Structure 1
Amino acid sequence: MLNQLEKELRISYPETYKTLYANGMLDWGETGTGWIKLIFPKLKLNPPLLLFAEDIEIWDPITYKAGIAEIMDREVYDIAQKYRFVPIGKTGGGDLYVLQYDLQNGDNIPVTFFPHDECMAEVLANNVQDFIFRQLLEAVREIDDYVMFYEEEEETMKINLNNQLRTHRPYLTTNQIAILENIYARDVFAYRYKLPNGHEEEAEGLVTFEEVEEILNREIGFVHLNKQFDYTV
C-alpha cells in the first residue's frame, strides 16, 4: 500500500521511513476518546515511533492519505512553487512535521517543522534518523505531568523511556544510542534556562536546553540545521 501511495504522490519515501512503516512503527492505534485508556497502556510497553516525544502525533501515511495530498495541493496552502513538503506527523496545535523534498541530498531528505498559522518553517534534521534522535533528546529537557512518559515514580518513568529506546534502536546510530542511554541513566534535576527575551524559566529534566543544543550541533549538524525560511516566497 505504501508503494501505491508513493506512485500516487510521485515521491519515494526514505528507506528508514519505509522500514518504520513495514515494522508497524507508524501505527499508534485507532484514535478517539478511548485512546488514552484503551490503546495507550498497550502501546507504552512497546512504543511505536516517538510515542513519548515532546509534542508529535505520527501519521500513518495510508490513514492520513487525504491530509498528505492536501498539503501538496498548492491551491489549499500558500506554499511557493520551489518547496515540496510531505507530512509525516503533527503537533497537538495542528502544526506539521514534513519531509522537505526540495532539500533532498542523495538519500537524505530533511525533516522540517511547518506551522499552519504562520509562514516561517524551520529545518530540524537532515534525515528521518536524525529527526528521531532529536525528538528523543528534546523530550527529556522538561519533565512534568504533561509529558506522555510521566509516572509518579521516577523509576517507572525511566522504564517508559527505556522501552521507547529499545524499540527505536534499529533506527538510530550506535553513537546516538549511547548518548541517549547516558542521559536516560541520570536522575531528574532542576535547572534554569534563558528565553529569547532574556527572561529565565525553571525546569526539571534529564538534560538542559543548552546541552541539547550542543549535542545537536555536534551530532546532527548540517548546513540547513535550524534554518528558518518563509515558505510563501
Structure 2
Amino acid sequence: MSMKPLEFDRLYGELDQVLRAYEGQPADDGADRPSDALLAYMRHTWHTRPWALSVAELQLRAYARNPPGRLRLRLGEFYPVPDVGLAESEIQDWLFRLADHLKQSVESGNVPPTAEPQTHWEWHARFPELAQLLGGWFSQDMPDEFTDHDAAMRDYSATTDAQLVARVVGELHELLTLGLEEADYALAVAELGMEVDPPAPYSPSGWLAKVADGLGGFRAEYGPPAAGTQ
C-alpha cells in the first residue's frame, strides 16, 4: 500500500523538492562545492521558505541512514530516489553530501544572492503561475485552439481566478525586472512552457510587458448603490 500524502510529506516532502531540482542536471556535488542544481534549490528556498532548508537537511540525512529495502519499495512505503546518473552504491554518500551542504549554509547564514534562475526547476519554482499561463495557453496547440495570441489571453483572463491572474501579473513584472538580454527572455519563456513565438512585431520581453499591462488593469464591478447612499 502506497503512503498517504500526509505521511509522505512528513518523511520525504522536502527531500522530494531537493531531488526534483536535479531534473536534467548532473548530480556532481563535491565535498566543497554544491552542484548547480543544489545551488538553485538553496537560492530559491532561502528567499521563499528559509525554514524548509533545515527540514530538507533532516530528511536527507534520515533517508541516507535508513535506505529502503526492496520489499518496502515494492509496497510503496518509501520514497524511490529518481535516477540522477549515479550508481546505486554512490547514492548514500551523495545524499549525505547534500545534507552537509545544507547544514553548512544554514549554520553559516550563507544566503545565495538573488539571480536569474539557472535551471528548469528554478524557473518553474520561481514563476509557477506564469508557467501555468505559458504552458497551458501557449503550447504548440495554441494556433489550433485560438485565432491569435490575444484570443488566447482573453480566454485565460475569462477562465482564471482573479487572484491567480494577479499573481501572474506580479510574476511578469518580476521577470521583466531581471533586465535580461532578449535572447535570455526567449529562453525564459521557453523554459516556462511557451512553444510558439510572440506575435509580430513584439520581442519576447515586449510581449511579456504587453501581457502584464493587459492583465494588470483592475476592472471594478459596479452595482446599485447601497441603501442610504446617493
Q: TM-score, normalised to structure 2's length? A: 0.29
The structure where helix makes up a greater share of residues is 2
The structure where strand makes up a greater share of residues is 1
Greater radius of gyration (CA): 2
